[in-house]
Structure 1
């Protein structure tokens, strides 16, 4: 009996469960593909041996978490680059297929949401419905109105001063406290960069002194990691299982949310009281939290609950953690792990010192805007170490959507763009497989008169560009990209001015789950003061 029971738990039940799931997936694939058969007739499909073989589709869908990035690259080379044609890949993300569009169709991102809808596809990318209990946080995104007001180009000067102060304080707290004069200290690169980024991002979102509350900052990091890991896990589930298993995966993120709210809510309540006593905007400078409170007040009393405002900040902080920490951790590895490290670092340091001396520091918009080499190094890292194989996802909202070449996509089909492949395309970038910190600034170096002629051609990191898509493209490009780019430039400038860095480990081959390129979280660096 004991052996039979053990066999039941160890073998029979798991096999039965797997067979049951595979059966449901197969049925789902059958109906999904039949309903969209017309679309697949006119599309090349990468990863399926036969369009009409349901077993081939099932196998391709189940292996998609490990093969999506390779399939996208293969399809891009075969169809997008050579023929400017779309193609499809099987994906467990949708339970069917995802259509990958060539860069020549980027203009479609400017079509109205009634034709190509951004929000449903973006929610499916980060799975916020399973991470946040209140649907108003992700369905009624009024917090982005505050982002557009405070983190816009016209407000960069005020944000630069605050960021400069917090960058110095954060590096001193997290890095300098571990360093000894003249000696090398080993750190985990992901943790060291993530701690600094979290604190600086919270300075912008909630302000001092709460941005320096260590308990809150650690909880925010745990929350960000829970959302990131939960998102990957849920996206790897068949869609029909998500309503049952998704809430379980999201419990960890919701636990950390509750812990964060215990600290944030009293602070926000006090902010609301103070703001209520203000008679005009001149009594105090408007920071992000003040702007968010004002926007929530305009939206109605139900939006003024301190817990709801705190959740909106948490949603934004998670995006900052997932985005800015990824970028900053990778530029350290890209630049300091490059064979040309010494040339890159000395060139950046020379520029930073010259600009800092000319402007009395790097705490103003004009100074940061003059860091052309720094911007180039940052932009190159975002190109070289893209965080996803595909991005800019949209769902077809119209009954039919014409993408050209006889391809009509039915309602509900998800489309994406192969951003990683575009960023590594030699048609757009010479030596695209190499990190070149000065790729975007080198052409503007040289005799002053020649540089002046080319100034109008300089392409900013935040500009819409068909070959650089890190901040999105078109109507739904990242609204906080000016702030993010400025802060990352300030952080990199502070780094090269104050620290010597060596990458200890050999850079591992980049791994992907579905379209997400996983960060090398175990990489170590050695750091010492200059």
Structure 2
């Protein structure tokens, strides 16, 4: 986090503690006293002066500890929800696993989109087009319709783009170069940005250096800035929000300068050709979806920004997952065993590929990377995006009845969440859950009988359940997870085949409120394994 963001966060802390929290505590007691008296509380010490003020301050850095304690005491032992402090929201009601279905209730009971938009804060980061994030969310319609059905069609393109981008970012820069040190987050975001944009806008724009730099910087600025804004009390956001979002707006402008003319040209081709002979990419799907929504949605600026929203969500979340795969794998004490097993599988699958250059250019090839998929799922388990996640808000009205005889309805406007990290680290759900085990989900199939069952029985990285919630749960589960998983697995497969990797120092996971921050300060040392292929790499052509 930059010095500016740290300063703004410090200002937010002071403002929250001095101006907001005590007032929220009073409102909780006076308006819905019966509920707040009945709900168990975690991390709120009644013996302290201003207990909710103290708990809210601690929530900035100790939410993981509080959530785990509340989960063990109330969710597991009593099957009850509990309240925990949140510096900006005042309190979050954490639901036990038995109430997971509640997050999928209809919009007249539970608000999902409003809660999820907090992660992007579009009022401040969208450059005046916050309405694009509201219903109907046309860009997510595109994901739901195409990013499952058509994801296999992108396998060859993303495989090629990932290989080129990986070599362009990781090198080597010269035939005599041995080990070199690279920034994990920076290089992974460049690699993922290339692959994602290959599917969104196609060649040659997916390799446009200006678009790549501006769009990935926009993604980083939105998520980091939104994290700071989310930590602010509501009355401060109109003042501080625009300042925090300045970087996001700058990168948004830079991205739009490239995208809008491209969209205008695509619209012309689409109209002139009567919708025939058009590219099969996300931009074309967006144009067709917007055309059905009416003329008001066909402005090139709106289409371009909807595409950019998909871009920023895809780049940030997929980079987050890929970066953590690298750090989890190569910081493990068992990394040599894991890497050897991954390489053996990747070599076998690549050798069986119909493509003479090997690689993983088909969805079928990717689906046979069972060990790689297990690694990705395990990394998503131990390095999920949040602590208390899947946020929801109780819809206006009479509140939400959770079905507990001794608990009144949850008041309208109250925030809800699921204890994602405690569930993922529960010994009742996983053996030795604190250990990163890359082959946790594939090991039982490592025999003749298991191979027969593997295709239908192995839990894959895209499979959600009551004990694996990184991609969500129920009707609001991430519809783009098949696309993300395919890209991550191809990237991991090329990485383990082509490079030796070592972590520089021990990776640490830092938290802010309920967010697990991305690994932006971690570095790795990398070395090309087969130096004889340097002359075939054409690194300069793809240097990012």
TM-score when scaled to structure 1? 0.92
Conserved? CA contact 1:180–1:528, under 8 Å: no
Over 3 Å counting, the alpha-carbon distance change for 1:20 and 1:115 in structure 2 is: closer
- Indicate whether 1:395 and 2:388 are aligned: no
What is the CA-CA distance between 1:485 and the residue it aligns to?
0.7
- Secondary structure at 2:352 match in 1: helix
Encode CA deviations 1:203-227: one digit per residue, 9 max, x unaligned: 2222221111112211122212211
The one of 36, 42, 49 aligned to 1:46: 42
Conserved? CA contact 2:172–2:528, under 8 Å: no
Over 3 Å counting, the alpha-carbon distance change for 1:332 and 1:177 in structure 2 is: same
What is the CA-CA distance between 1:54 and the residue it aligns to?
8.1
The one of 376, 379, 384 aligned to 1:378: 376
Other-structure match for 2:101? 107
The one of 292, 302, 314 aligned to 1:320: 314
- Secondary structure at 1:501 match in 2: strand
Over 3 Å counting, the alpha-carbon distance change for 1:183 and 1:147 in structure 2 is: same
Number of aligned positions between the proteins: 510
Over 3 Å counting, the alpha-carbon distance change for 1:304 and 1:348 in structure 2 is: same
Over 3 Å counting, the alpha-carbon distance change for 1:293 and 1:54 in structure 2 is: farther
Conserved? CA contact 1:100–1:417, under 8 Å: yes
Other-structure match for 1:142? 138
Matches within 5 A, 1:69-468: 69-94=64-89, 96-132=90-126, 133-139=128-134, 140-152=136-148, 154-176=149-171, 178=173, 180-181=175-176, 183-281=178-276, 283-360=277-354, 361-397=359-395, 398-405=397-404, 406-407=406-407, 408-447=409-448, 449-453=449-453, 455-468=455-468
In structure 2, C-alpha distance between the alignment counterparts of 1:23 and 1:128, rounded to whole Å: 25
Conserved? CA contact 1:98–1:416, under 8 Å: yes
Over 3 Å counting, the alpha-carbon distance change for 1:168 and 1:416 in structure 2 is: same
In structure 1, C-alpha distance between the alignment counterparts of 2:282 and 2:351, rounded to whole Å: 30
In structure 1, C-alpha distance between the alignment counterparts of 2:16 and 2:318, rounded to whole Å: 41
After superposing the two structures, state which structure 1 stretch, 420-429 or 244-253, moved more.
244-253
Conserved? CA contact 2:206–2:212, under 8 Å: yes
Conserved? CA contact 1:80–1:86, under 8 Å: yes
Conserved? CA contact 1:226–1:253, under 8 Å: yes
Indicate the RMSD between aligned Cα atoms, in angstroms.
2.1
Conserved? CA contact 2:20–2:233, under 8 Å: no
- Secondary structure at 2:366 match in 1: helix
What is the CA-CA distance between 1:84 and the residue it aligns to?
2.0
Over 3 Å counting, the alpha-carbon distance change for 1:421 and 1:339 in structure 2 is: same
What is the CA-CA distance between 1:75 and the residue it aligns to?
0.8
Unmatched tracts of structure 1, length 5 or more: 1-13
Other-structure match for 1:3? none
Unmatched tracts of structure 2, length 5 or more: 1-9, 530-544
In structure 1, C-alpha distance between the alignment counterparts of 2:463 and 2:19, rounded to whole Å: 47
Conserved? CA contact 1:348–1:496, under 8 Å: yes
In structure 2, C-alpha distance between the alignment counterparts of 1:19 and 1:511, rounded to whole Å: 23
Other-structure match for 2:523? 524
Conserved? CA contact 1:68–1:515, under 8 Å: yes
What is the CA-CA distance between 1:493 and the residue it aligns to?
0.6
Over 3 Å counting, the alpha-carbon distance change for 1:125 and 1:520 in structure 2 is: closer
In structure 1, C-alpha distance between the alignment counterparts of 2:16 and 2:463, rounded to whole Å: 49
Other-structure match for 1:6? none
In structure 2, C-alpha distance between the alignment counterparts of 1:82 and 1:522, rounded to whole Å: 39
Over 3 Å counting, the alpha-carbon distance change for 1:455 and 1:188 in structure 2 is: closer
Conserved? CA contact 2:189–2:316, under 8 Å: no
Conserved? CA contact 1:29–1:54, under 8 Å: no
